[in-house]
Structure 1
Amino acid sequence: MKRFQPIPSQLFTVFTALFILLNISITYAQSSRGTVRGKVVTGKNQVASNVSIGLEGTNFGTTTNEIGEFSFRAPAGSYQIIISYVGVERVEVPVTIIAGQTVTVPQIAVNASMSQLSEVNIIASRANRFTARISTDAAKIPLAPLENSQSYSTVTSSLLKEQQVFNVEDALRNAPGIQKMWDATGRAGDGGGYFTLRGFVTQTRLRNGIAGLVTSGIDAVNIEKIEVIKGPSATLFGSTLTSFGGLVNRVTKKPYETFGLELGHTVGNYDLNRTTIDLNTPLGSNVAFRLNSAYNYEGSFQNYGKSRTFSAAPSLAIKANDKLSFLLEAEMFYGRNSAKPFFFFYDSPKAMGITKVSDLNIDYKNAYSNDNVSSYSRSLNYFAEAKYKFSEKLTSQTVFSSSNSFSNGASPYYYLVTDARAIDLTRDPITKISPLPDLPGEANYIYRNDQSTANSKLGAIEIQENINGDFNIGGMRHRFVVGLDFQRQNSNQIFFGNAYGVVPINDPNFDYSSFNKLLVDKTNAANPLTSANTYPYIYKTNTYSAYASDVINLTDRFIASVGLRVDRFENKGTFKLDGTPDAKPFGQTAFSPKFGLIYQPVKDALSLFANYQNGFQNPAPYTDANGQTVAPKIQNANQIEGGVKMALFNGKLNGTVSYYRINLTNVLRTLPGSGGQAIQVQDGTQNSKGFEAEVIANPIPSINIVAGFSYNDSKFTKADADVQGLRPNTAGSPYLGNFYVSYRLPESAVKGLGVGFGGNYASKNKIINSVSQGTFELPSYTVLNSNVFYDRAKYRFGLSVNNLTNKHYYTGYTTINPQRLRQVLLTATYKL
């Protein structure tokens, strides 16, 4: 396979020439333009977010951000700013735009509620429905994407609603560079689904910028948007919630000041039935309550398998006065789920003589166990936030988060074995079945197991204080955050496993449903929990952190950012099942810096950016050459990244193109010791580099496009001889692509009718990759999806077909996981 090479100098020359030409052409086209800025509030002086604004008789305009502010460029001249609503008197504000200058209009107040604001008449082709103008979490400072030197992708609720995506895991198919490897297991401590991002494993551990741990898949009923923040991000988010590849932050819906109600129901094949509610109601003049909830039942594309989930997310917003406000939220997920098939390798692919899935005889539609073998999971998260405005330039945010995960039950999985291994296992009375049939070839059997959890619990609390400021000092604008953070994790996770025999991998006459709850209960009763057959993860950790970050406008086009975190990690020790210590306590102090630069050749339209980002982790103790348990050194990942961000043609063409390189140090590796006994040292290194591109476009009023492409080259640069120079099996597919095109009929036709089409591509994925075990690849795949929708003020209908071509495809890392076949969904929603 051809190795990825650094970008040659000739290519840099071409890029430079293209950027110069682009800069000249855009600068010339916009040389006669000025900037309009302002803020929109409702009649109750609440910020009006996501409101469309335009200049009458033109195609120039934008939408307000999360704090009601707007900014856009337009040719010099005198205009009327127009905000128009269904059933509400429209607002007109005169403005004179001066070339090369910024005009700030007085605050615009509209006599409308937030529910009415959602029914904005389109008066200019300005709304790119799938973009988010500002993020308050990505940098813990309100910044537009072009002002943030770190690359990130945003998946909006508008896109999820149009595609009929019901969970966070599926929603991430719209973000470039991230790939699902495992569905959520439902086990406490495992978290939600597992993904790979820039060559490293990550999960959805953050909610509104702080800890929001989960056990099962995350229902999207309460999601306003999802942010995939790329690269090591420990400076602002710490080490316990992030990975070296980045993080996933889910931003939730918030209460507003008027009544609103949406009721929805979805049906689909595989017995899908889903009911949702989004209720918002004021409770007096300064209190608002909102409830988002969903009940979801679904069978499986396989012969067995089902899941029942319930989620509820109540929230209460209280405005004590003009300076002080409170937000109380809860997030509750409950699930009873059958395990989805995971195929591990008991014997290596090299020993089995296989290199790809087609060498196996897996029955794609066979679950290999009865669906009454299930696990119960529960995640309860509680949040409290207090905001105090000292002035328009200085605010305080105090946040408390409590996360509690619980699971109990069986989680079947299967080992792929050689025929010789299968015969050996049948000699064990526990695994013995009737004599194995004599079949030709290899890999004719699987070894059935489960790894259950026994009333496992993982608790976490986080207390965070952020002071945000926005000041001009020495002629330069400073937007900064100073924060303190405390996190505690208390784990009492108990894992245990049992074996359930060797069976043929594909025999139509075999009763695979015999692996059922009765057999599991009987086996568990015969094997009570002891220290010999359990795998406890019992520990307590405290993390104390302080951080600061400053975004400095050196000029109106040149922006620098600098940040630093000081982090004190204290591991209070790990313990065995009986409570006796298993490893001694230890503590570590880490420093995590970050730097960034942005230059805007075209103000508010084109940014050249570069960053240095740091991530770190506190690994578990290991055993050294002397047989002693050693406190580990901190692992550090340092990233350099550069690229281009754009919001061209009045926001119709948005995107990011970037190149990154991440170097990871202090990786644990194994060396041969004296007497053949292996020893461990912590001096390994790993490198991950790649290219990412994302485009979110609105070329004409009726079409919206989301597309992305990524390439990642990861390898161990100093590691065990077994994997030296090879790609980690956690890095996923080197090449990933995503796209989605949405077309809404023009206003003159059937208003609200539209269609969408999209898909995802992933190249081959080496889930086993070493000298001793050989190489095993999951095949590349292209999965296509389509939808039709009809969206009006009071109701909405949607029809979606996922996996349109009924593609057989697999995900996994070190495992083979069959994915869902074609599914048809029909949704009806009533809005009040």
Structure 2
Amino acid sequence: MAYEVNDRLSLSLLAEILEEKRAVPPVFFNTDRASALDFKTIEELNLNPKLSFTNNDLTIKNPRKNLQAQALYKINNNWSSQTVVSASNIKSDGIYTYIYGVDPEEPTQRNYFFQEFSNQDYNTTTFDAQQNFNGDFKIGNLRNRVLFGLDYFTRTVKNNSSGSLVTRRVNPQGDVISADPSNPDGLDQSFIENGLAATEHSDTKITNSAYSAYASDVINITPALSALVGLRLDYFENKANVETDDYDQLTFSPKFGLVYQPIIDKLSLFANYMNTFYNVAPSEIFDEDGTSLGVKSFKPEQANQIEVGAKANLLANKLFATLSFYNTKVANRVYYLPDGNGMQGGKTQSKGFELELTANPLPQLNFIAGFSHGKIKVIEGNTGTPNDFYNEIGRSPGGQGPQTLANFWGTYKFNSGKLRNFGLGFGGNYAGVYKVIDNSVTGVFNLPSYTLLNGSLFYNGERFRISANVNNLTNESYYIGYWSVNPQKPRNFTASVAYKF
């Protein structure tokens, strides 16, 4: 909802409420880090992607509520103010399951995995208040476009989840080994809930807050040359219901950039350096028996990036193109061991390029396309963990995604006649081979490349927008993962209705 108070002040309010209840299909994790992989491809794993490995009684609820209010105020011809306040609440309440490992003492059944269940009870509440001031003025002959602001963010996570319970062993084709006659298929709701009720439950509450101040200035040195300088300061504070884990820290993040336009408003060459950080939320840790030991805090993950590239405006504003090359190094990485405990250390490097194209050959016709290729590898091990499986120099860390990505989307909207405001869209995505596991001990596990095609029909009027979409038109079988194999949706249909106040 948006409201124009006057020509200087505008207000907007956005509210989102989502109620979701679903059965969670488990993912296949590889947790054996001490021996070579038995399955190194999807074909060798022979996973049946049509199986859910669960049932409709074992459900989890994920309600979400988001609220955002914004005020834009024009102070004068040179200065404007932006005030944004937002709050959210996310819950996880119900049965979660995943499939992992094998029994090393039963080599004849190495293709049977353990299926584990837990009762999730997470409640995450966030609040953010941000005040920005934007200025556009001259000092002498130099044009300055200034941004400075303050930001306060706080997040509280309550965890009262159960311990875990293994009820059966399954293979990727759905065959089951179950030892308890009262739970023959391993999916009996009462059996699982009663078993989880008897496990030790977590009881943690973690509140972390960030107080931030930032400023940047884009200076037009000449009509063709501009420079950017910026600095962000963050004071991060953590409070947990474990006395040993309260801490705070102060972090600075600079940013510099140059833009040169050999052809004004047509061709720009740019280069920038950016130091960024990410305050990682503390996580609960456990002993060998799965008993909670409280929470563990982490230093901010630090990233340093150098980027160069070019932007072009071609064909009389009908084609826009951006090409960039980047080199990013990330230190203080946080990663999680098979027992669920978090570790920190090591450094990775990511290099690659990205190409983006936007075309408007006709007023009613639009195209967006992109292509990227990058490579990530570990360049420094974790000094605190000798022979660290997750930080083997020269190897790819888990979770980096495919090296090659491409996307395309085109829309056509009728601007006159009986079909006015109706339109259609067509496009797709390509993802290259994804190296999910890369280690000299286990070997390499790759998820195959895939191409998805999608289509859309829509009506976009002054007040209403109605759309109907078909995703994965060709019913492609494809997977994503993070040290895991996660089958994705086959062909599916979605519809949405929006009303503009």
Change (3 A) 1:603 1:340: farther
SS of the residue corresponding to residue 62 of structure 2 reads: strand
Residue equivalent to 2:97:
412
Quote how far apart the aligned CAs of 1:710 are. Answer: 0.5
Percent of aligned pairs with the same residue? 36
Residue equivalent to 1:63:
none
Residue equivalent to 2:256:
595
Change (3 A) 1:462 1:787: closer
Change (3 A) 1:542 1:471: same
Quote how far apart the aligned CAs of 1:685 are. Answer: 2.0
SS of the residue corresponding to residue 816 of structure 1 reads: strand
Verify: 1:447 aligned to 2:132, yes or no: no
The residue identity in structure 1 corresponding to 2:25 is: K
Rg comparison, structure with higher value? 1
Which deviates further from its counterpart, 773-782 or 743-752? 743-752
Quote how far apart the aligned CAs of 1:397 are. Answer: 2.6
Deviations 1:13-34 (A, max 9, x none): xxxxxxxxxxxxxxxxxxxxxx
Residue equivalent to 2:47:
362
Verify: 1:684 aligned to 2:369, yes or no: no
The one of 264, 274, 290 equivalent to 1:613 is: 274
Verify: 1:716 aligned to 2:355, yes or no: no
Quote how far apart the aligned CAs of 1:634 are. Answer: 4.5
Residue equivalent to 1:343:
28
The residue identity in structure 2 corresponding to 1:414 is: I
Residue equivalent to 1:506:
173
C-alpha separation in 2, matches of 1:747 and 1:330: 33
Quote how far apart the aligned CAs of 1:795 are. Answer: 8.2
Verify: 1:820 aligned to 2:489, yes or no: yes
Which deviates further from its counterpart, 391-400 or 630-639? 630-639
C-alpha separation in 2, matches of 1:318 and 1:746: 27
Counterpart contact for 1:483–1:547, Cα < 8 Å:
yes
Quote how far apart the aligned CAs of 1:824 are. Answer: 4.3
The residue identity in structure 1 corresponding to 2:167 is: Y
C-alpha separation in 1, matches of 2:176 and 2:123: 41
Residue equivalent to 1:780:
449
Change (3 A) 1:452 1:403: same
C-alpha separation in 1, matches of 2:448 and 2:191: 35
The residue identity in structure 2 corresponding to 1:588 is: Q
Verify: 1:556 aligned to 2:223, yes or no: yes
Quote how far apart the aligned CAs of 1:778 are. Answer: 0.8
- Count of residue correspondences: 473
Deviations 1:584-614 (A, max 9, x none): 3222111111111112223223221111111
Counterpart contact for 2:307–2:326, Cα < 8 Å:
yes
Residue equivalent to 1:518:
190
Quote how far apart the aligned CAs of 1:452 are. Answer: 2.8
The residue identity in structure 1 corresponding to 2:313 is: A
Counterpart contact for 1:803–1:821, Cα < 8 Å:
yes
Change (3 A) 1:800 1:485: closer
The root-mean-square deviation of aligned C-alpha atoms, in Å, is 3.5
The one of 323, 327, 330 equivalent to 1:657 is: 323
The one of 529, 537, 542 equivalent to 2:200 is: 529
The one of 435, 438, 441 equivalent to 1:769 is: 438
**Structure number with higher strand proportion:** 2
SS of the residue corresponding to residue 518 of structure 1 reads: helix
SS of the residue corresponding to residue 346 of structure 2 reads: strand
**Structure number with higher helix proportion:** 1
Residue equivalent to 1:727:
396
Structure 2 gaps, min length 5: 178-182, 286-294, 337-341
C-alpha separation in 1, matches of 2:46 and 2:419: 50
Change (3 A) 1:751 1:630: closer
Quote how far apart the aligned CAs of 1:774 are. Answer: 2.2
Quote how far apart the aligned CAs of 1:329 are. Answer: 3.9
Verify: 1:395 aligned to 2:67, yes or no: no
C-alpha separation in 1, matches of 2:440 and 2:381: 12
The residue identity in structure 1 corresponding to 2:120 is: T
C-alpha separation in 1, matches of 2:159 and 2:262: 53
Using the size of structure 2 for normalisation, the TM-score is 0.83
Change (3 A) 1:553 1:442: farther
Counterpart contact for 2:170–2:176, Cα < 8 Å:
no
Counterpart contact for 2:277–2:301, Cα < 8 Å:
yes
The one of 383, 388, 406 equivalent to 1:737 is: 406
C-alpha separation in 2, matches of 1:702 and 1:591: 46
Residue equivalent to 2:138:
472
SS of the residue corresponding to residue 699 of structure 1 reads: strand
Counterpart contact for 1:349–1:355, Cα < 8 Å:
no
C-alpha separation in 1, matches of 2:498 and 2:11: 31
Change (3 A) 1:565 1:769: same
Change (3 A) 1:801 1:383: closer
C-alpha separation in 2, matches of 1:621 and 1:335: 25
C-alpha separation in 2, matches of 1:398 and 1:797: 31
Change (3 A) 1:621 1:508: closer
Quote how far apart the aligned CAs of 1:370 are. Answer: 0.5
Counterpart contact for 2:167–2:186, Cα < 8 Å:
no
Structure 1 gaps, min length 5: 1-253, 256-316, 425-440, 624-628, 671-679
Residue equivalent to 1:187:
none
Verify: 1:810 aligned to 2:479, yes or no: yes
Residue equivalent to 2:153:
487
Counterpart contact for 1:370–1:513, Cα < 8 Å:
no
SS of the residue corresponding to residue 354 of structure 1 reads: coil
The residue identity in structure 2 corresponding to 1:341 is: P
Change (3 A) 1:825 1:544: closer
Counterpart contact for 1:369–1:516, Cα < 8 Å:
no
The residue identity in structure 2 corresponding to 1:445 is: Y
Using the size of structure 1 for normalisation, the TM-score is 0.52
Deviations 1:19-50 (A, max 9, x none): xxxxxxxxxxxxxxxxxxxxxxxxxxxxxxxx
Residue equivalent to 2:361:
699
Quote how far apart the aligned CAs of 1:725 are. Answer: 1.0
The residue identity in structure 2 corresponding to 1:726 is: R
The residue identity in structure 2 corresponding to 1:597 is: L
C-alpha separation in 1, matches of 2:173 and 2:259: 58
Deviations 1:382-401 (A, max 9, x none): 33334443212112233322
The residue identity in structure 2 corresponding to 1:727 is: S
The structure whose RCO (Cα within 8 Å, separation 6+) is larger is 1
C-alpha separation in 1, matches of 2:264 and 2:245: 55
Counterpart contact for 2:146–2:218, Cα < 8 Å:
yes
C-alpha separation in 2, matches of 1:507 and 1:542: 45
Deviations 1:524-569 (A, max 9, x none): 23x1434xxx4x5532222222110111222222221111012111
Quote how far apart the aligned CAs of 1:813 are. Answer: 1.0
The residue identity in structure 2 corresponding to 1:606 is: L
Deviations 1:461-481 (A, max 9, x none): 222221221112111221111
Deviations 1:608-631 (A, max 9, x none): 1111111113455999xxxxx998
Change (3 A) 1:810 1:560: same
Change (3 A) 1:797 1:752: same
SS of the residue corresponding to residue 807 of structure 1 reads: coil
C-alpha separation in 2, matches of 1:799 and 1:330: 23
